[in-house]
Structure 1
């Protein structure tokens, strides 16, 4: 009988190629170009879906300024009418405070003893950088109208 000095090692078995995969992973030191390109494509698809939605939401949020200031004009005009029995055609006379960094320009188009109409015009060349203006109006009844909508053209 021969004596064995070597230990008998159990044979390595591969379960679904796991051992081979682990051996392959030990020698890998980075990402392949294909893997990086797949990530770039996925990011591009996500950006293509998200950016238009973000731009539309951003543009809509800009229009809220016009509505808020026009409501302020309406409130101040009603107060002025109670005191002087006539609507004012002057924003300063009714005490409207337009934000210093306002995106819209505000004016009172018409005012007399029974009616007034105030307007907000987008001060820049369009909310979404096209030639279509964005205009809002309010009247003595508090009715706000979007008379020219830049978001829908």
Structure 2
């Protein structure tokens, strides 16, 4: 007696069907991406707002101690996080624009252009403690 091998055919997708599905997904992503860019930009700007509020609190504490605001971020114990240009995760660079006895202004400038239009997002905070977006990306 000869052994007969049973051939079982399993249902599966072929290469053409898989490629068509991938093309359809790609087209849907291209359609959805422009609508998501403002949300991505807004989410990244939360980093600047959070860091600026921390700087405001640190500047306020420094003023209570020394009766003036600091020109140096390291003097208020603020270590800027590494930016994406420095292989870090931060999207903003921080700098003190002005600091006197009665007022200060700190600026957060985006290091990358979030939506590719050539405009970099800028946020500022002053002695009043409200982050303001001065340049919208």
TM-score by length of 1: 0.66
Which runs of 5 or more residues in structure 1 are unaligned? 1-29
Partner of 1:99: 81
Partner of 1:130: 117
CA spacing shift, 1:110–1:131, aligned 2, 3 Å: same
Give the structure with higher Rg (CA): 1
- For this pair of structures, how many residues does the alignment match? 119
SS in 1 for 2:132: strand
Partner of 2:5: none
Q: Does 1:113 align with 2:95?
A: no
Relative contact order higher in (CA < 8 Å, ≥ 6 apart): 2
TM-score by length of 2: 0.73
Partner of 1:88: 70
Measure, in 2, the Cα distance between the counterparts of 1:40 and 1:69: 40
Partner of 2:38: 56
Deviations 1:19-46 (A, max 9, x none): xxxxxxxxxxx89x9x99x967864664
Q: Does 1:144 align with 2:131?
A: yes
CA spacing shift, 1:132–1:75, aligned 2, 3 Å: same
Deviation at residue 72 of structure 1 after TM alignment: 0.7
Measure, in 1, the Cα distance between the counterparts of 2:92 and 2:25: 36
Question: Once superposed, what is the RMSD of the aligned Cα atoms?
Answer: 2.5
